[in-house]
Chains A and B, each alone.
Chain A
Amino acid sequence: MKTCASVLALLCLAIPLSFAAAPKGEIKVGAVFPMTGPSATFGQESVNGMKMALTSINKKGIKGQSIKVIFEDDKGEPVEAANAVRKLITIDKVLTILGSVASSNTLAGAPIAQEAKIPLITPASTNEKVTMTGDYISRTCFTDDFQGVVMAKFAFETLKKTRAAIIVDNSSDYSKGLTKVFREKFTSLGGTVVGSSDYAYQQKDTDFRSLLQKIKRENPDVVWLPGYYTEAGLILKQAREMGINIPFLGGDGWDSATLQKLAGPEGIKGNYISSHFSSEDKDPMVQSFVKEYTKLYKQAPGAMAALGYDAVLVLADALTRSKSLSSEDIKQAINSTTNFQGITGNITIDKNRNAQKSAVVLETTATGFVFKQKVSP
């Protein structure tokens, strides 16, 4: 009893101290990203891009106010993402939330934001279900419906492959969604998907040899692997070691510099992914972003950095257009974003609160991702 009372008393004293009132002229925005954990580079890059955009916006401010972002780490786990969203809403009282990256994590936090009527914009979650949560949830990237089709067509029409094996990450909504889309499109184009069921793994798995053995049996000529780079890298490495030399295809989940390190020199060769952005894009806006980012962070920006950057700009634009700072108005403004020119393309938020944007197909090489083709919706 005494311990309980003293702890409670201490807490009651400490709480008011931590509730520093926001200085006048600040718009509080929350951000939930994976800063640590398996997809840490996604979070780190996104935040880098966001900070770049914030510095440039806060130079002029929005109607005299600057944006203050409170960053939370979701560690790449859905439970943490849900907790982070809840904390940002109940304790920090943010007006909008940006995040997260992995669809499963955004899906965990979105219902909480929707119920609390706080707008949430995800820069990178591509699974359909995310924006179906409710009208306060929107995204500034394309969806897997589009991405999966792009890669299915690439496999069939460009690479001329007809027998695909599918390896799916069962712990990821993103992976499962993309798998479904790819299978439907690939078979409708005339290709076959081998194997009686998809070959499944889970995040944090490290040994894929038995799985790859089963695939080798089926003799596919291409493999669809819509997972995250941590496992994809290991799978590529082990596949090459086992003599599986066919191309592997992936989605934007592979887009990280860590992929090269994990896959090794043999594993990285000859694979393709779809993504949002290529630093080789000749567009002057993109090039100036790439130059500034590289100068600031000493490495070339990947898709996540570009998406983070654009998301902040879209939010700032919405805040400028919004009639007031009430959540209702902010939501309205975000959902009516039209023809916003971002560095990842032209962003219009449609009636399902998704952005219709083009994708790029990149080839994986030891020196990075090389641009192959651009596909518009």
Chain B
Amino acid sequence: MTEQTSYFFWDLGQYLLNGIAQGSIYALVALGYTMVYGIIRLINFAHGEFYMVGAFVGLFLIQAHLPFLIALPLAMLGSGLLAVMVERLVYRPIRKAGKIQALITALGVSLLLQYLGQNLLGADPRPFPDALENKTYMFGELMISKIQIIIILTTVILMGALRYLVMHTKIGKAMRATSYNLEAAELMGIDTNKVISFTFFVGAALAGAAGVLVGMYYNTVEPMMGLIPGLKAFVAAVLGGIGVIPGAVLGGLVLGVAENLVIGFWVSTYRDAIAFAILIIILLIRPAGLLGRNTREKV
């Protein structure tokens, strides 16, 4: 193999690695989207803001010298609680109204949180302090940083925990039942309101974790940071099949890798466009997503 070709493969490997790290973050956020959509058919536009709040809570805790392993769960808690509050105050009353109303309301909440953040915290990006010394490990020409390892590990652990929660606990069963058919679940005695609030909590907690990880990975946080990643995570959820939990993970990884391949082999300025392009292609070719089930509309 010539040096050029070997470099090509090392580079490809690097982009794949970067893509998996980034994709893990998308996956964590996408999980929240997909869970909420699965249960109440709402695209929670404000989900990106739960991610942002998690990042900021993490920032403040780490600035206060709390170790990463304590800051992370606390940030997750913060996001989760915010989500429950939003759900109770805004989404629950709107649930009976039309889908479009709900969508617009979610948009409103998203904007509200972003701009509140801007006004209260300042629009400027803040540097994220180094919570863990960053080290890089080389495997040949492949470079993996400690942070990337932590991101992938954290994501795997959280996803495992989620799977256990959904598949092997009572509340998980309740979540699955409610997402399958809300009225039937209610008739079976499930307190759907509680289940829905819990779903919001878990989804937002995952997003909050992603926010902290992102703060560490990119070294900056700012109030508008949730907008684009939020949209991309939504694309990931749709790509994998909205409402399907493993789909969110798959979608997130695919999106992360695709984005990094675009950056690597084309121009980084089109990195956001690839997400939207994938969205449109998927909606046109296979709207149910890669792992989704197709539901026909009955008249």
Partners in one complex: yes
Q: Is B136 in contact with chain A by the CB < 8 A criterion?
A: yes
For window 97-156 of chain B, which residues contact chain A by CB distance below 8 Å? 122-125, 127, 134, 136, 143, 145
B18–A262 CB distance below 8 A: no
B218–A206 CB distance below 8 A: yes
CA of A36 to CA of B124, assembled, Å: 7
B267–A200 CB distance below 8 A: yes
Query: Residue among A207, A214, A242 with the most chain B CB within 10 A?
Result: A207
B220–A241 CB distance below 8 A: no
Mark contacts of B3-28 with chain A using CB atoms, 8 A cut-off: 1 yes-contact digit, 0 otherwise: 00001000100110010000000000
Nearest Cβ in chain A — how far from B152, in angstroms?
Answer: 16
CA of A37 to CA of B125, assembled, Å: 9
A209–B18 CB distance below 8 A: yes
A residues bordering B, Cβ < 8 Å? Answer: 36-38, 40, 75, 170, 200-202, 204-207, 209-211, 213-214, 217, 230, 234, 237, 241-243, 261-262
Across the interface, B220 reaches (CB within 8 A) one of A40, A206, A209, namely A206
Residues of B near A242 (CB, < 8 A) are: 136, 143
CA of A214 to CA of B164, assembled, Å: 41
Residues of B near A211 (CB, < 8 A) are: 263, 268
A234–B11 CB distance below 8 A: no
Residue of B nearest to A258 (CB): B127
Residue of A nearest to B147 (CB): A241
Residues of B near A204 (CB, < 8 A) are: 125
A200–B268 CB distance below 8 A: yes
If the complex has contacts A40-B124, A210-B263, A242-B136, are A234 and B220 also in contact, measured as CB distance less than 8 A?
yes
B263–A200 CB distance below 8 A: no
Residues of B near A209 (CB, < 8 A) are: 18
Residues of B near A40 (CB, < 8 A) are: 124
Residues of A near B260 (CB, < 8 A) are: 210
Residues of A near B2 (CB, < 8 A) are: none
Across the interface, A241 reaches (CB within 8 A) one of B14, B122, B136, namely B136
Residue of A nearest to B130 (CB): A264
Residue of B nearest to A197 (CB): B267
CA of A237 to CA of B136, assembled, Å: 13
Nearest Cβ in chain B — how far from A1, in angstroms?
Answer: 24
Query: Residue among B127, B264, B268, B269 with the most chain A CB within 10 A?
Result: B268
Mark contacts of B166-208 with chain A using CB atoms, 8 A cut-off: 1 yes-contact digit, 0 otherwise: 0000000000000000000000000000000000000000000
Nearest Cβ in chain A — how far from B97, in angstroms?
Answer: 23
